Structure 1
Amino acid sequence: MGKTYQIIEYGSFIRGKNITGFTYLPNDIFDTLEEFILLNKNRDVEALEFMNISVRKGIGKVITAKNYVGIIEIKDGTTIEILPKIYSQEDVTEAKVKKLVMDMLKTLRKSPYKSLQVANVSVDKMNIFEIFIRMFINEVLLIVKKGLKSNYETIESNERLFKGKMKFAQQIKYNYAHKEQCYVEYDEFNTNCPENKLLKSTLLYLYKNTHSLKNKNDIKMLLNSFLEVDKSTNYEEDFNRIIAADRNKKDYTTALLWSKIFLMGKSFTSFSGSKIAFALLFPMENLFESYVAELLRNNLNKSSYSISIQDKTHHLFDEPNKKFLLKPDIVVKNKRDNDVFILDTKWKLLSGQKSNYGISQSDMYQMFAYYKKYGAKSVILLYPHTEKIIVNKRLEFKANDGTSVKVRFIDLFNVKESINNLIYEL
């Protein structure tokens, strides 16, 4: 079983030595990770955002995680796991943080993560990759219990008995001296359809890459149901052949989304690397925004409030034409009196020890613009809360012209109370 090296956001790896404040990586693993970062930097400038490389005197090269969480699986079985910075809290266990990440992923739209169920999974004993494999296994298990779906498959072959229609060109070519055979084309109703081929290919891929004995055993058991199914030889072609509107395949929807992630790297962000088997990395800014928006959407009274995510109603300038689109994370409107509330999520840990608590000046400029252009009754900056950060929980900045920006905190391990308090202010 490969080893897992774990850090939190903004934690750092160093090569071949143990130094307090850094996580040690063997030389070959450090080199592979460095190559992976540089390769993605050359391919896409923005891709470097998940990690950077620097040099420190007396230490050498340092690889530092940024605001991404997830896993990088190396082909030798080694796993790099990055968890949110809130894991540094002494009263927060690794299992609680992983469950939180799963809950956040469930709120992403058009993704398989909506089906994540971790109640029966020992998340503290599995890295994120193994949890994802477990989720895929559970989806395929449901499909197998109901029975694999079948489709008509067009088959060309030499047969002893005539069926379907004769392929005359092939008959002349292959059976000139074998009059007893018929080269024919016919449709056969079987389970060898693109959906099942992709599921089988995913199971085979995961069987080779999982380090969990339970996952491996369950995949082996599931493969017995796919004995009559071929492996996919062209993932992209088979995904394109799937008819999305086919109601008979609705049970496959989530499992196939997982397959696309595992087989084609179609995750939240796509990465590549010659020695990398798999990479699933998620920007915490997006996860935090999606999570808070979903919580508000589910808890706001829909008859009294409307909610818009990534709203595109206004531009900063209107003349001579509209320029510089404003796109606040969450816009809540009171249907009764048309009062508008702007909420912007920021994945950043504030501190009373920092200048302006660590709130960025550009964020304040942005909120000021939202307040003016939307004629908002209130604008609120939302940050994650941790016990170690001592900041006034009802912080508010006011200008002489009446503009004000509130700063509020979401306790991610007590979200119900945080969201209720937030809704109370609207």
Structure 2
Amino acid sequence: MTVVHLTEHAPAASVPLPDAAGRAIAASRILDTAAPDPYRTGHWTLRAGSKVGAVSLAVPGGDPVTVRITPKVPIGRLFFLIGYSLDPCGWRNGDVEVGDHDELLPALAHAVERQVDRALRQGLLQGYRTVEDSALVVRGRIREAEQIRRRFGAALPVEIAYDEFTTDIAENRILRAAVERLLRLPGVSQDVRRRLLHQRVRLADVSPLVRGQALPTGRATRLNARYQHALHLARVILDGSSPEHTAGELRVEGFLFPMNKLFEDFVTVALREAFRGTDRICRLQDPHHLDEAGEIRMKPDFVLYGSEGVPQAVADAKYKAEKAGGYPDGDLYQMLAYCTALGLREGHLVYAKGHAPHAAHRVRHAGIVIHQHALDLDRGPADLLREIRSLARQMAPGVTV
């Protein structure tokens, strides 16, 4: 098996690869750049974008190839961003054990197994599940419409529905699906794989999820509180960002996590938490229109409204680092459109990193000021949240956050 190690948004690297493996990587479209190296025979130029994780590709007529993309931010910081985005009130840095792993997938597999183990230490959670069945005795209630449709007036068997107290509930099904997903992914260590198999045995009596169907929904309660951290991580595994498909003769299986989406979720959720307890209303991905006819749609990442429902501030998160020439001009044009459509005099762009913490640009003939803020993801969780609160104060002067 050929293994390729890359780092997100790192400069393009020339990697020795068989042509079949290089073509498979290019066809999978998991990298920003995948092309034959014009200067070195038998080498391919590869460059990773903002997706991190690991995928395994079955190369037609050749050995499989695994591509592992390491995030630039420390693994512990990455899990803080994931955890805060999912549960800002109940999850803080240090709640998730990632072991000594410095790659995303092994660390994620380790963390999921540890959280599942903690969730199941007191035994499998039980709850009520509605069961629909045909029986010779009445239990629960009779499904009259089904009885008429299926039995044509016959008295037996009876179509019934009842609530059963069982371990075969949504929470356990999600945990089982996440464990089984990790067991199929490349890059999971043998020790973690052995412990995942143990968790799989503990969940053996739980029904598997049907592939392609939406994940069961649920809400946090006092009864399932011990499951919440495990469920949060399980949903990261199962949220649909993991490629597992066949494109022609190419089979791709693995886990890729979009860092740009993670950064956007963290910034918007943290801003919403900063304004919690105030009279302001926060909406994420709130749809608006640029034109009066309502034909040009736009969805700012974060819009702050006053108590009367009038927009007061807008922000957009960009997982980009400032380059020598500055940030892309296209981001400024996008924010200018947001401010114009929302009737705002200021807009805020939030980047993952920059040379200066803040810059402001006043647009000619418009009177609109566009602010560019930079968050340093290398800083600790407390510092990151402090920067978000500072940004919130700039977006809404006079509001105590």
- Please, what TM-score do these two structures have when normalized by structure 1? 0.65
Residues 116 and 135, structure 1, Cα contact 8 Å, conserved in 2 = no
**Structure 1 residues 2 and 425 mapped into 2: Cα distance closer, same or farther (>3 Å)?**
same
1:422 partner amino acid: L
Does residue 51 of the first structure (1) align with residue 32 of the second (2)? yes
Alignment match of 1:139 (pick from 96, 115, 138)? 115
Name the counterpart of 2:153: none
Name the counterpart of 2:83: 106
Name the counterpart of 1:281: 257
**Structure 1 residues 410 and 206 mapped into 2: Cα distance closer, same or farther (>3 Å)?**
closer
> What SS does the aligned partner of 1:268 have?
coil
Does residue 345 of the first structure (1) align with residue 317 of the second (2)? yes
Q: Measure how far apart 1:359 and its partner are.
A: 2.4
1:67 partner amino acid: S
Does residue 374 of the first structure (1) align with residue 342 of the second (2)? yes
Name the counterpart of 1:393: 358
Q: Measure how far apart 1:261 and its partner are.
A: 6.7
Name the counterpart of 1:331: 303
**Structure 1 residues 56 and 397 mapped into 2: Cα distance closer, same or farther (>3 Å)?**
farther
1:70-149 alignment runs, 5 A limit = 70-73=53-56, 80-84=67-71, 87=72, 97-108=74-85, 119=95, 121-122=97-98, 124-149=100-125
1:395 partner amino acid: A
Deviations along 1:48-85, whole A, 9 cap, x unmatched? 3743323442135322212322332468997533244x
CA distance in 2, matches of 1:420, 1:116: 17
> What SS does the aligned partner of 2:245 have?
coil
Deviations along 1:298-343, whole A, 9 cap, x unmatched? 222532422221122x31111xx31102321111234499571111
> What SS does the aligned partner of 1:347 have?
strand
Q: CA RMSD in A?
A: 4.5
**Structure 1 residues 130 and 192 mapped into 2: Cα distance closer, same or farther (>3 Å)?**
same
CA distance in 2, matches of 1:296, 1:37: 38
2:245 partner amino acid: S
Deviations along 1:171-215, whole A, 9 cap, x unmatched? xxxxxxxxxxxxxxxx99876778767755754664575643542
1:396 partner amino acid: H
CA distance in 2, matches of 1:238, 1:67: 25
Residues 310 and 330, structure 1, Cα contact 8 Å, conserved in 2 = yes
CA distance in 1, matches of 2:217, 2:310: 43
Q: Measure how far apart 1:236 and its partner are.
A: 0.8
CA distance in 1, matches of 2:48, 2:342: 36
**Structure 1 residues 235 and 192 mapped into 2: Cα distance closer, same or farther (>3 Å)?**
closer
CA distance in 2, matches of 1:241, 1:309: 22
CA distance in 1, matches of 2:189, 2:361: 49
1:378 partner amino acid: E
CA distance in 1, matches of 2:174, 2:389: 43
Deviations along 1:245-296, whole A, 9 cap, x unmatched? 898778667756766776xx643354535554422231x3322211111111
Residues 381 and 407, structure 1, Cα contact 8 Å, conserved in 2 = yes
CA distance in 2, matches of 1:127, 1:143: 24
Does residue 425 of the first structure (1) align with residue 394 of the second (2)? yes
- Please, what TM-score do these two structures have when normalized by structure 2? 0.68
- Count of aligned residue pairs for this structure pair: 350
> What SS does the aligned partner of 1:146 have?
coil
Deviations along 1:129-149, whole A, 9 cap, x unmatched? 122222322333234322225
CA distance in 2, matches of 1:332, 1:380: 11
**Structure 1 residues 3 and 397 mapped into 2: Cα distance closer, same or farther (>3 Å)?**
same
Name the counterpart of 1:61: 44
CA distance in 2, matches of 1:77, 1:55: 18
Structure 1, unmatched stretches of 5+, are 17-26, 41-47, 88-95, 155-162, 166-186
Residues 361 and 369, structure 2, Cα contact 8 Å, conserved in 1 = yes
Deviations along 1:148-182, whole A, 9 cap, x unmatched? 2568999xxxxxxxx988xxxxxxxxxxxxxxxxx
Name the counterpart of 2:210: 236
Residues 36 and 276, structure 1, Cα contact 8 Å, conserved in 2 = no
Residues 179 and 196, structure 2, Cα contact 8 Å, conserved in 1 = yes
CA distance in 2, matches of 1:240, 1:292: 26
Question: In terms of Rg, which structure is larger?
Answer: 1
**Structure 1 residues 399 and 81 mapped into 2: Cα distance closer, same or farther (>3 Å)?**
same
More helix as a share of residues: 1
Structure 2, unmatched stretches of 5+, are 138-161, 396-401
Q: Measure how far apart 1:344 and its partner are.
A: 1.5
Does residue 308 of the first structure (1) align with residue 272 of the second (2)? no
**Structure 1 residues 333 and 33 mapped into 2: Cα distance closer, same or farther (>3 Å)?**
farther
Deviations along 1:365-411, whole A, 9 cap, x unmatched? 2222222221213112222224xx3x473332332342222222222
